[in-house]
Chains A and B, each alone.
Chain A
Amino acid sequence: MTLGLRAAGVSHRYGAVTALEGVSLDIPAGETTVIVGPSGCGKSTLLGILGGLLRPSAGEVTVEGSAPEGCLNRLTYVFQDFALLPWRTVAGNVALVLEPHGLSREAREAREARIAEVLSMTGLSEFADAWPRQLSGGMRQRVGIARALAVRPAVLLMDEPLSALDAQTRELLLDEVSALIARAGATVVWVTHNLAEAVRLGERIVVMSRRPGRIRAVLRRGEAAATEAGLWAMIRDEAADAARELADG
């Protein structure tokens, strides 16, 4: 059993700019939902609202179901910029999110074991004592993923986790990350602007319109439009509409 999310009529404004308008969306438990859309359409804003890091201007998000046993943080982020603490080692960064969960000797031993486990899963065992500045971008994101997995998340909220990496590293890491999250058994919401990534990962693909972001389509894997070309056609339409509106004044 794990959690699902439901956004109902979610809107969000940054001052005079409406980033999201009337977004209603179901994130089914245990599935990987990928959110794509043109740049600036509010994908990351929506993810922030889904995870409780942004308060919507209107609407609400609810969680449905119950968190699996051992889950220490239900809604867990993996950040685009890694968000690693530079003053902590790789192991220290993972430890950060486990430290609030008990100070006893048993808790400390369990924490050490969990850190070793996730570092091994992500291929970072040899780098446990390295500082983040000593790692490449791909390695840093592995640390971000190890940190997220350490808390046995119910929902993984991935905010363009591979977009800060070069194409080669992204390609190599994509399969690895998707295997890791499949093993974690969590519900996944993955925001990306990379359509190939969306098609490879998404059991459901949510296509958003240009700003203000609305849901333009929700596609299931295997549907005719759920291909790179199909997604690209939709996003190109959105860009063309935006250009037309601009030209019309």
Chain B
Amino acid sequence: MAEPVPFRARGFASRERGWAAALTLLAVLALWQIGAELRWFSVAFLSTPAAIGRALWHLALSGELGRDLAASLGRLLGGWLAGTLAGLLAGLAIGLSSTLRSPGMAEVSALFPIPKIALVPLFIIWFGIGEGSKLVTVGFGVFFPMAISTIAAVDAVPRNLIRMGQSFGLSHSAVVWRIVLPGALPALLAAMRITAATAIILLVAAEMIGAENGIGAFVLRAGNLYDVDALMAGIAVLSLIGLAAARLIALAERELLKWR
């Protein structure tokens, strides 16, 4: 008896569906709100999405959210850019130089595992309670994962491509610019996703320990006042910052890695 050959190659080819992401988020928010209305949990300990939305609206109107957000974004961007750039340059130097590789790897490996949050008090002593300590905390925390990822990314560039460039007489700097950096770019962008999240964690920690403004300080203040709505509004803003950073990096990936 003849029968059609069944198709068996389903799955393992994930595709993004934007509408599914939005729908899931809406479903979770709706469930959360319904749970609160039906008193599955106490709103004294966990606000509802509607209450968080209202708190955000009032904070935005009062200008408080704008002030704290501007302070945090400034620190985040400054610290992340400085740490990422320094990590990239250090990683390239260590990855490309036999002279620097062993000493550089030893230093990076020794310093990377230190929890950077533990260094915040030290940075406050060194750089003061002002902006310097926050920028250094974020930058220092971003530096190590970026440097390590850059070294690995440089190592992963196929050597045959580098030899090809050399065989055509490309200079050392041309090989770095035209072959090593573009070849390492996918891994570098993936590292930036991780360092962006790390930067937000460290920023909040630094702002909670020693800052008068910023989203971290705002969340701490709201907690001290037992204002759960405002506290969760602050957390929602942090989540949105993380989402925005990931989205920007995804856009950069789409533009820069369209060859894949």
Q: B126 interface residue, CB < 8 Å from A?
A: no
Spot the interface stretch: A25-33, A94-102, A196-204, A228-236.
A94-102
A100→B165 CA distance, assembly (Å): 11
Contact B259 A131 (CB under 8 A): yes
Contact A151 B168 (CB under 8 A): yes
Q: B178 interface residue, CB < 8 Å from A?
A: yes
Q: A18 interface residue, CB < 8 Å from B?
A: no
Among B118-160, those with CB < 8 Å from A are: 160
Chain A positions within 8 Å of B164 at CB level:
77, 79, 83
Kindly provide the distance from the CB of B100 to the nearest chain A CB, expressed in whole angstroms. 22
Interface residues on chain A, number (Cβ under 8 Å) = 23
A5→B7 CA distance, assembly (Å): 58
Kindly provide the distance from the CB of A73 to the nearest chain B CB, expressed in whole angstroms. 5
Contact B169 A100 (CB under 8 A): yes
Chain B positions within 8 Å of A88 at CB level:
259
A151→B260 CA distance, assembly (Å): 28
Contact A96 B163 (CB under 8 A): no
A87→B177 CA distance, assembly (Å): 13
Known: A53-B163, A83-B164, A86-B259. A100 touches B179 (CB 8 A): no
A96→B178 CA distance, assembly (Å): 8
Chain B positions within 8 Å of A52 at CB level:
167
Contact A87 B167 (CB under 8 A): no
Chain B positions within 8 Å of A51 at CB level:
167
Contact B259 A87 (CB under 8 A): yes
Q: A207 interface residue, CB < 8 Å from B?
A: no
Contact A83 B160 (CB under 8 A): yes
Q: A117 interface residue, CB < 8 Å from B?
A: no
The contact size tier of chain B is 20 to 34
Among A56-83, those with CB < 8 Å from B are: 72-73, 75-77, 79, 81, 83
Among B166-180, those with CB < 8 Å from A are: 166-171, 174, 178-179
Kindly provide the distance from the CB of A207 to the nearest chain B CB, expressed in whole angstroms. 26
Kindly provide the distance from the CB of B12 to the nearest chain A CB, expressed in whole angstroms. 19
Contact B167 A75 (CB under 8 A): yes
A73→B182 CA distance, assembly (Å): 23
Kindly provide the distance from the CB of A234 to the nearest chain B CB, expressed in whole angstroms. 30
Q: A182 interface residue, CB < 8 Å from B?
A: no
Q: A133 interface residue, CB < 8 Å from B?
A: yes
Please name the residue on chain A nearest to B167 by beta carbon. Answer: A77
Kindly provide the distance from the CB of A189 to the nearest chain B CB, expressed in whole angstroms. 13
Among A89-116, those with CB < 8 Å from B are: 96-97, 99-100
A131→B164 CA distance, assembly (Å): 18
A133→B259 CA distance, assembly (Å): 8
Kindly provide the distance from the CB of B258 to the nearest chain A CB, expressed in whole angstroms. 9
Chain A positions within 8 Å of B161 at CB level:
83, 85
Kindly provide the distance from the CB of B101 to the nearest chain A CB, expressed in whole angstroms. 20
Instruction: List the interface of chain B (C-beta within 8 A of A).
Output: 160-161, 163-171, 174, 178-179, 182-183, 185, 257, 259-260
Known: A83-B160, A85-B161. 6 other contacts (CB 8 A): A53-B167, A83-B163, A85-B182, A88-B259, A100-B169, A100-B170
Q: What are the 7 closest A-B residue pairs judged by CB atoms, nearest first? A: A83-B164, A97-B168, A77-B167, A87-B259, A87-B182, A131-B259, A83-B160
- 15 residue pairs from A and B, CB less than 8 Å apart: A52-B167, A53-B163, A53-B167, A75-B167, A76-B168, A79-B160, A79-B164, A83-B164, A86-B259, A87-B185, A96-B168, A99-B174, A99-B178, A100-B174, A131-B259
